[in-house]
Amino acid sequence: MTEQRKVLVTQRFFDPESLAYLKANGCEVCIASLADGQGDGDLSEDRLAELLAEADGWIVGHAWINAALLARLPRLQVIARRGVGYERVDVDAVQAAGKVATIAVGGNDASVADHAIAMMLALGRLGEAKARMVRGDWAISLGRDLYGKTVGVVGIGRIGRGVVKRLAGFDAQVLAYSPQPDWSYGRESGVRYVDLNTLLAESDYVTLHAPLQDDTRLLIDDVALSRMKPTAFLINTARGGLVDDRALLQALRDGVIAGAGLDVFLSETDPLYRATTDALLALPNVVATPHSGASTHEGLQRTNLIAAQCVVAVLNGDTPPAPCVIADGRGHFSTEE
């Protein structure tokens, strides 16, 4: 009988179907016990090394993965992110260690696109209405339609295109910014590619769907915010590092823009911004969620299963779907004596 492979899951909400898939493919699964409010990104290197000591596969959320940790895990073969961002994964270190790292491409695109639209509607129509009603203030306040508005989409990958599809139902005019425009997609979808400054100046809603990398870090700063309409809204369901939160806080206080919908914050990776996050949350023109745009029952089931399939593929000596692979170091080591 083939020896069972051991897989550690350090994420909550790992559904029974994905668990059954791993077990049916000869995997013994351990789901790490995390304290309330704790994520795997909060675990120390020592604790991760302890949990993963006998693991062949790891389904991970937001833990930092670097050369020092990998050096302590000679048995580990595959690291599967239940998500698509991988700025916390040192892909060069994974490659050098002879391991495989994957992401769950396509699993949560629809969930995040839905969330971005929900934030647009909430900013324009809901705001703090319920809080006012609880206080006994039932006075009618005027909202703003999404219908017929101009929406600027920064980053036009899978999620950005999902947002574009949903905006068609609102008869919105869509502007897009991308360093590498796909002109054929623009013609087919009716999206107009423009430079970032034009997008900021003309949009009623600006929604961010770009990856976090050197050329996008703090892309939306005080200068960028000053280019937006005073009636415009900013939505960020991508990565906190795309926006200078201190500049955003000042812009919202000064009426430079009308409001913001935020699912991600700089304080997630930099504790020095915690006070800024708290101040943003206190503003009546901010709609906020705790980095949960991808976290629906359906979205997590999809990403869980993709991560599980990637783990099984690697443990079977196969290759996961190419879009999911961010590092594959299995051919890194020389076979020479």
Catalytic status, residue 166: no
Same fold, 5-107+296-328 and 109-288: yes
Give the residue-averaged pLDDT of 264-282: 96
Query: With 90 as the cut, is the pLDDT of residue 335 above it?
Result: no
Q: What is the pLDDT of residue 2?
A: 55
Catalytic status, residue 161: no
- Say which CATH topology domain 109-288 has: Rossmann fold (3.40.50)
CATH number of 5-107+296-328: 3.40.50.720
pLDDT tens-digit map of 59-116: 999 899 999 999 999 999 999 999 888 889 999 999 999 999 999 999 999 999 999 9
- Domains of the chain: which residue ranges? 5-107+296-328, 109-288
Catalytic status, residue 239: yes
Query: With 50 as the cut, is the pLDDT of residue 249 above it?
Result: yes
Its pTM stands at 0.87
Among 161, 239, 297, 302, the active-site one is 239
Per-residue confidence band for 31, with pLDDT thresholds at 50, 70 and 90: very high
How deeply is 89 buried, as exposed, middle or buried, from its count of CB atoms within 10 A (0-12, 13-18, 19+)? buried
Nearest to 167, CA basis, from 238, 116, 122:
116
Among 5, 202, 268, 302, the active-site one is 268
Cβ contacts of 158 within 8 Å, gap of 6 or more = 105, 106, 109
Among 291, 298, 332, 336, the active-site one is 291
Alpha-carbon distance of 72 to 317, in angstroms, equals 22
C-beta of residue 151 within 8 angstroms of C-beta of residue 175: yes
User: Strand 100-102 vs strand 325-328: parallel, antiparallel, or unpaired?
Assistant: antiparallel
pLDDT tens-digit map of 174-216: 999 999 999 999 999 999 999 999 999 999 999 999 999 899 9
Per-residue confidence band for 1, with pLDDT thresholds at 50, 70 and 90: very low
> With b meaning 16 or more CB within 10 Å and e meaning fewer, what string describes 291-318?
bebbbbeebbbbbbbbbbbbbbbbbeee
C-beta of residue 308 within 8 angstroms of C-beta of residue 277: no
C-beta of residue 113 within 8 angstroms of C-beta of residue 84: no
